[in-house]
Structure 1
Amino acid sequence: MFDREKLQELAAARDRWEETTLQQWLARMPERQETFTTVSGEPVDRLYTPLDLPDFDYMRDLGFPGEYPFTRGIHATMYRGRLWTMRLFAGYGTAEETNARFKYLLEHGQTGLSIAFDLPTLYGYDTDDPMAEGEFGKCGVAVSSLLDMEILLDGIPLDQITTSMTINGPAAIIWAMYLAVAEKRGIPWDQIGGTTQTDILKEYIAQKEWIFPPEPSMRLVVDMIEFGSKYVPKWNPISISGYHIREAGATAAQELAFTLADGFEYVRWCLRRGLDIDSFAPRLSFFFNCHNDFFEEIAKFRAARRIWAREMRETFGAKNPRSWWLRFHTQTAGCTLTAQQPYVNVIRVAIQALAAVLGGTQSLHTNSLDEALALPSEFAAKLALRTQQVIAYESGVTNTVDPLGGSYYVEYLTNRLEQQAYEYFRKIEELGGVIPAIEAGFFQREIAEAAYRYQKEIDEKRRIIVGVNEFVEEEEVKPPILQMDPEGERRQRARLQKLRMERDNERVGQTLAALQEAARKENENLMPYILEAVKAYATLGEIVRALKAIWGTWQEPLII
């Protein structure tokens, strides 16, 4: 794109500027520090020019919005045609309490639901399981059976609103509950839309909420993708997630590379099942973190789109342009929220949300100011929603597509992150692929080392965190904190006990036995069997135990 002769002239002009204007300025006003870096530790130069993009090719590297390689966005008009889905993560206590929060947020302009489940549910335990003791409803809503899901979704128009569910190990079971609710209401599955997270690989890498060993867990993922492509065409059966990888301490490049590597691994497993790539790839979705470094995050999203499009087209041979799209949800970085001076979190979240929008997200969750202290209060959740609405309707950033496209710095960062991602892809391939790399502790070690470096920078004040290691205030600020119904757990336990007494227990036993028999077969899709068990009101814990009896569990290797 840049004429070689013009680049030589520019290089000479830059040298002259550095020797004269810059040196004169530095003599009067030295820079604040010797080196500048991104949040991920990447060096940042003083100035970027076309000299930092010597091989830049507009059509190859950028193109136009809605066209390959989708660097500038997957839709031709982006937010001029439709804003992103405003989807606040919500869930706590009982199904009744969370249902009330959903309705509150929808009344205030939220455009999509996002369900958080409590820790026992994430691990596949019923509320009254001894392993669930003390964890009821604390990080999300407790869902132990179809009855809980019916209460959770009461009054929610499932055919008019999309729902995202952050669930992984037991994702197939929770999704079956959602489908069963729709079926009982007479809503055809082809009219419901949403996303189940389902991404089990990132659990082994970062979040640690697995249930079964990797091989049977991957089988369940493929079962969901296959079932969804046939019967629930508007549903994203998986949201390949970098969010938790970043929350564990990864750099932007690691989040980008490890997330896409996981995505490629899911594609390979589906192809081995015999699925046609264009039958399932258009419904694969992604979930990214948006950290504090404004430009690095924007570049990360742009690089992700370009890499995914290239690999899907050139490596996996997808023909449908929809298969080349990287569609993603973004959540602002929970790990950046501080308990100190919590109202400052509003500013952090606004900056991160703006970066997500400028990076072209399709869906966005903004964290609440009090999340370093507790689950969001109504006040804090509404303010987080209003943050998105101000960006959407008042900032002007939605008026043009990819407004930072062509920025020398942004394009340089996009190229650099892409380069780093491919370096990681090569390392993963040398280890034998994603699952062997997990078993060798590669991902876990890389993230741990990055997290240590970042924390050391904070401890040594080489990286300033407002209110934590600088600009500290002695007076403690306490925003209103959410209070859960103290009787919620007792009611939930009583509901479970009553359910087990009143259901057809013979039918429950038959459906669980059929599920186990299917699980013993290599290529049997388990979704129909899980659905039958769910509709018989088998509980989450009962279904998980039935599968554990066949597959066992998994022990993470020791990382040294």
Structure 2
Amino acid sequence: MNSEEFKKSKNKFEEKLRTTKETGMKFTTVSGEPINTLYTPEDLENFDYLRDLNFPGEFPFTRGIHTNGYRGKIWTMRQFAGFGSPEDTNARFKYLLANGQTGLSVAFDLPTLMGWDSDAEMSKGEVGICGVAISSLEDMEILFDGIPLDKVSTSMTINSPAAMIFAFYLAVAQKQGVTFDKLRGTLQNDILKEYIAQKEYIFPPRPSMRIITDMIEYTTNEVPQWNPVSVSGYHIREAGSTAVQELAYTLADGFAYIEACLERGMDIDSFAPRISFFFNSHLDFFEEIAKFRAARRIYAKRMKEKYGAKNPRSWWLRFHTQTAGCTLTAQQPENNIVRTAFQALAAVLGGTQSLHTNSMDETLALPSEKAVKVALRTQQLLAYETGIINTVDPLGGSYFVESLTNKMEEEANKIFDEIDSLGGVINAIEAGYFQKEIADSAYRYQKELERKEKIIVGVNDFVEEDEKLDIPILQISPEVEIKQRKRLADLRQSRNQQAVENSLYEITQAVIDGKNIMPPLINAARNYVTLGEMVAELKKHFGVYEESVIF
């Protein structure tokens, strides 16, 4: 390209541009980043193809971790499912598998997420409402009845009590005669983001990190195909962060887990290939694509250059994506089908390994079967009808996308420096750094909506007066809680109480002796110790976390 000729042509373009009219809309990303009218080679000054982009499957993996992209394997279509009793969710799993879903993803109810049994005082009115109720090995056996665990990949969205829920899952596998080396799946198990965003924590950060390190160590040795942590930016974004905050905070959490394992004395290449990530796909199409591409590049560089990983698979950032629940609206809920389709397209163009598409009715209740099927069909339409799987990273080389990707990486590195200056992720949590930054971002976006600088169709513009909702709502019967309470009462009567007490003692001894906590938890699960009983035993030693007030 002749630089003088280019500058002359660009100047002519900019003169013409000054005479054009604009709509008056605010031309920024959803995160508030200003966007130029046009991007040109000047926006990629010093850009080096092999260093910054390279070919798919080659370091730094900006264009994807697999050489042939989705031509070799289409992303896993993993619909999040869980409601009511274990029987209810087992039926939904079988329905989804019959309709072409390729992986299971378990949503748990609030009592389970908080480590309470279904018959606990704090569980009243919440059993089975926002996910499936799991309090014991018996519940987990029912949940996976008729589903061979060596034939499916299972993702479980569980954090504080992840070790206990995983112990139930492993005990079910043993009862099915499935050896641990055959199990494939992922635990979310990202406790750091709970303190930052979702707030479903139990123990303080430091003992929680000890539990997660135990789990990574145990799965590395005993359950080699399992992903012990899915480091989750999803909830950080749902709490109101910007795209770059989601990117940086998520990767910072991941690096904190890696450093904890290294301090334990583990070899990085023994566990890093099984660390996975979980991102949100939000409204701004190109910003999200750039975020995913930047995430791969940042991660690969850090793993190779800072942590000294030698295995190329340790450099891979593998991630699941879910479309943005916070963007769904109760008003004109059919619009959510379209929003979800665009967000899913961004995730696929960004190179996700698996994808969950939200259902149109999720702002109103847990999704109905029809809404779930439409959400799943959205993914199938993308995969089989749009042609987007035909070529790898089709937006690679776009002046706009590459410039935005570079900007994401640059801004994320600045945030890493801020976190380091505070003494690391846990110190930053305790200082309220993440919480304040996210709150500021959420406030900015809300003010833009109120001023109509950003438009949400059907909410702050294009509103339909006297709108009538005509979509079926999934109702959770009060009978679910009654049934779960009775099942637990019967379990407590029929199990071997001495075995229960011995199991709890073994958990205590593992904590005191600094031994890996997973073997005694699995033994406790086999002896039908409940989730709440295991958590209560650990609370005696670890305590309960109370967040500092920062506002």
TM-score, normalised via structure 1 length: 0.97
2:260 paired with 1:269: yes
**What is the match of residue 230 of structure 2?**
239
Structure 1: give runs of 5+ residues left out of the alignment.
none
CA contact (8 A) 2:25 2:453 kept: no
**What is the match of residue 503 of structure 2?**
511
Distance apart, 1:34 and its partner CA? 6.4
Paired letter, 2:498? E
2:476 paired with 1:480: no
Distance 2:474 2:99 in 1: 18
Among residues 524, 529, 538, which one is paired with 1:533 in the alignment? 524
Among residues 450, 457, 460, which one is paired with 2:451 in the alignment? 460
**What is the match of residue 196 of structure 2?**
205
Distance apart, 1:80 and its partner CA? 0.5
What SS does the corresponding residue of 2:492 show, helix, strand or coil? Answer: helix
**What is the match of residue 333 of structure 1?**
324
Among residues 404, 409, 414, which one is paired with 1:418 in the alignment? 409
- Per-residue deviation, residues 273-296 of structure 1 (Å, max 9, x unmatched): 000000000000000000010000
What SS does the corresponding residue of 1:114 show, helix, strand or coil? Answer: strand
Structure 2: give runs of 5+ residues left out of the alignment.
none
2:379 paired with 1:388: yes
Alignment length (residue pairs): 550
What SS does the corresponding residue of 1:164 show, helix, strand or coil? Answer: strand
2:64 paired with 1:73: yes
Distance 2:453 2:38 in 1: 22
What SS does the corresponding residue of 2:539 show, helix, strand or coil? Answer: helix
- Per-residue deviation, residues 321-375 of structure 1 (Å, max 9, x unmatched): 0000000000000000000000000000000000000000000000000000000
2:10 paired with 1:14: yes
Distance apart, 1:486 and its partner CA? 3.3
CA contact (8 A) 2:26 2:453 kept: no
Distance apart, 1:171 and its partner CA? 0.3
2:151 paired with 1:155: no
Distance apart, 1:200 and its partner CA? 0.2
Distance 2:25 2:223 in 1: 55
**What is the match of residue 299 of structure 1?**
290
Over the matched positions of the two proteins, sequence identity in percent amounts to 65
Give the superposed CA RMSD: 0.9
CA contact (8 A) 1:199 1:238 kept: yes
CA contact (8 A) 1:340 1:476 kept: no
Distance apart, 1:17 and its partner CA? 1.4
Paired letter, 1:38? T
- Per-residue deviation, residues 69-107 of structure 1 (Å, max 9, x unmatched): 000000001100110000000000100000000011111
**What is the match of residue 166 of structure 1?**
157
CA contact (8 A) 2:148 2:176 kept: no
**What is the match of residue 85 of structure 2?**
94
- Per-residue deviation, residues 125-168 of structure 1 (Å, max 9, x unmatched): 00000011111111100000000000000111211110000000
CA contact (8 A) 1:91 1:116 kept: yes
CA contact (8 A) 1:7 1:51 kept: no
Q: Which moved more, 1:324-333 or 1:474-483?
A: 474-483
Paired letter, 1:499? L
2:479 paired with 1:492: no
- Per-residue deviation, residues 362-391 of structure 1 (Å, max 9, x unmatched): 000000000000000000000000000000
What SS does the corresponding residue of 2:426 show, helix, strand or coil? Answer: helix
TM-score, normalised via structure 2 length: 0.99
Paired letter, 2:506? A
2:169 paired with 1:178: yes
Paired letter, 2:11? D
What SS does the corresponding residue of 1:342 show, helix, strand or coil? Answer: coil
Stretches (4+) displaced over 3 A: 6-9
Distance apart, 1:23 and its partner CA? 3.7
2:425 paired with 1:434: yes
What SS does the corresponding residue of 1:341 show, helix, strand or coil? Answer: coil
Distance apart, 1:55 and its partner CA? 1.0
Distance apart, 1:13 and its partner CA? 1.6
Paired letter, 1:22? L
- Per-residue deviation, residues 462-510 of structure 1 (Å, max 9, x unmatched): 1100000000012222311112243111111100000000000100100
CA contact (8 A) 1:243 1:287 kept: yes
What SS does the corresponding residue of 2:334 show, helix, strand or coil? Answer: helix
- Per-residue deviation, residues 295-342 of structure 1 (Å, max 9, x unmatched): 000000000000000000000000000000000000000000000000
CA 1:525 to 1:22, structure 2 compared with 1: closer, same or farther past 3 Å? same
Distance 2:237 2:108 in 1: 20
What SS does the corresponding residue of 1:549 show, helix, strand or coil? Answer: helix
Distance apart, 1:180 and its partner CA? 0.6
Correspondences of 1:399-414 after superposition (within 5 Å): 399-414=390-405
**What is the match of residue 363 of structure 2?**
372
- Per-residue deviation, residues 427-478 of structure 1 (Å, max 9, x unmatched): 0000000000000000000000000001111111111000000000122223
Distance 1:35 1:18 in 2: 20
CA contact (8 A) 1:7 1:50 kept: no
Among residues 446, 452, 455, which one is paired with 2:437 in the alignment? 446
Distance 2:122 2:25 in 1: 52
Distance 1:11 1:120 in 2: 63
Distance apart, 1:8 and its partner CA? 4.5
- Per-residue deviation, residues 245-291 of structure 1 (Å, max 9, x unmatched): 00000000000000000011000000000000000000000000000
Correspondences of 1:331-370 after superposition (within 5 Å): 331-370=322-361
